[in-house]
Amino acid sequence: MKLKNYKVVVKGPAYTANSPDDFHYMDDAIFCVDHYGYISDIYMPQHEKYSTVINIARSEDYLYELKKGQYILPGFIDLHIHAPQWPNLGKSLDRPLEQWLQQYTFPLEARYADLDFARKTYNHLVSTLLSHGTTTAVYFATVHRESSLELGKICLELGQRALIGKVAMDDVNNCPDYYRDCSAEHAISETRRFIRELLALPGNEKGNVLPVITPRFIPCCSDELLSGLGEIAKETGCHIQTHCSESDWEHNFVIERYGVTDSQALYNYGLMTSKTILAHCNHISDDDMSIIESASAGIAHCPLSNFYFANSVFPLRHVLNKNINTGLGSDISAGHSPSIFEVCRHAITASKALNDGVNSQLSSEVRGYTGSSVSFREAFWLATGGGGKVLDLPIGQLREGYFFDAMVVDTNGPDSDIIIYDDDTTEDILQKLIYNTQRNNICKVWVNGENVLNKHK
């Protein structure tokens, strides 16, 4: 029997999702990870190679075997997070979006001209996210090219897969003088240079860290900047990220400026591609959904931050019914939790609120938007395979040919709130993992088959 040489073999029970409503449980599978970090083979106990691979991996010391009560999940994907807003986690949530940006957020982001401040904050953020099981994050950094590159270096050092954007924002009316690109031309040339320099970072030969073209949102960008960034997207094929139809103010601002919605305007500027990640999209119409769907763009649903800034609940069920690529985002610090487990719970709760309605003074027949609920199975998909599909990367599923980005949840871990009983089915257990996993339950995290938990000093 010819056997391959592996980097690591992981043995234990595992869950993965293949589609929004279809999870797959593998009892005591072995995941054989090659030297590039891909899952090369998955063998179940009845396979002829199963025991031999385990024996060799054990004798050569590259077998990782789960204990009773531990489960493997794909690593979670955070599709929308503002790295520089980490110091504001859990505060300053008392103003509407447009005031929150000016009063709290832009002054904080301006501080990232200081590389030491950036390094310290980003180190703490990235290591915290890894310990919550977030193996891939899609970051907005700041306008500063150098500290945005620093975030890339830290992700490479700590082993997190990341997509990172130097934020582009030049509009003199909506960006403060102390925090904006000094001109469209400058923002465009800095974006080009950022893309080049990030890809060339030492240690990034495999592209674990990718650049993202990042117009902050239409109100902060001049026409010249938006069209220049569209050109870069066409030339480079890079990912693109922005905020789309987030709040009443923002959605109406774009309609007043262009006579069309965010989705149509982004399309017109060449910024709606299969590599586009649109944060929020709470106020999109059916026509907007058609634009997004036909471009194969994706949505980062940020349910927690939406409660504070979006003035509405995102129509998640409707979007899933239309087969639009969708995943989840923490939207730190507009969202106050770094945990994508938490974001799953908020996505479910928000959908329930939309389904049943929120105003008890209305009769139940008119109170809600029936048929809006999503299940824990769908939330699990959104946090994993859904995010991978949005990014068009082989991540988010425990499947041959995908990167082995994964975590182990220990239900018997210290101070565990995950209580498993003998009569729990495999589906019950997955439900309990989604609802009750805390940071202290996550005892192992891999990216590319490399251990990345507690790598920080």
Kindly tell me which of 105 and 397 has the beta carbon lying closer to ligand GUN.
105
**How near is the Cβ of 270 to ligand GUN at its closest, in Å?**
20
Kindly tell me which of 73 and 108 has the beta carbon lying closer to ligand GUN.
108
How many CA atoms lie within 13 Å of 109's alpha carbon, on the beta-carbon side? Answer: 31
- The entry of ligand GUN, Fe ion, none near residue 163 (CB within 5 to 8 angstroms by kind) is none
Strands 70-74 and 63-65: unpaired
Kindly tell me which of 179 and 194 has the beta carbon lying closer to ligand GUN.
179
Kindly tell me which of 305 and 339 has the beta carbon lying closer to ligand GUN.
305
Distances in Å between the Cα of 15 and the Cα atoms of 204, 245, 446, 449 are 30, 34, 15, 17
Can you say whether the dihedral through the CA atoms of 236, 383, 75, 338 is positive or negative?
positive
**309 belongs to the binding site for ligand GUN (CB under 6 A):** yes
- Tally of residues, the chain: 457
**250 belongs to the binding site for Fe ion (CB under 5 A):** no
**331 belongs to the binding site for Fe ion (CB under 5 A):** yes
Asked if omega into 245 is within 30° of 0 (cis), the reply is no
Distances in Å between the Cα of 126 and the Cα atoms of 82, 133, 135 are 12, 11, 10
Kindly tell me which of 82 and 144 has the beta carbon lying closer to ligand GUN.
82
**305 belongs to the binding site for ligand GUN (CB under 6 A):** yes
Candidates 14, 154, 218, 334; binder of ligand GUN (CB under 6 A) is 334
Name the DSSP letter for residue 386: I
**246 belongs to the binding site for Fe ion (CB under 5 A):** no
Kindly tell me which of 197 and 248 has the beta carbon lying closer to ligand GUN.
248
Determine contact, residues 214/168, Cβ cutoff 8 Å: yes
Among the listed residues 454, 336, 344, 339, the one whose alpha carbon sits nearest the alpha carbon of residue 85: 336
**How near is the Cβ of 343 to Fe ion at its closest, in Å?**
13
Determine contact, residues 199/211, Cβ cutoff 8 Å: yes
**246 belongs to the binding site for ligand GUN (CB under 6 A):** yes
- The entry of Fe ion, ligand GUN, none near residue 309 (CB within 5 to 8 angstroms by kind) is ligand GUN
**82 belongs to the binding site for ligand GUN (CB under 6 A):** yes
Q: Does an H or E element contain 363, and which?
A: none
For ligand GUN, the binding residues (CB under 6 A) are 82, 97, 101, 105, 216-217, 243, 246, 305, 309, 331, 334
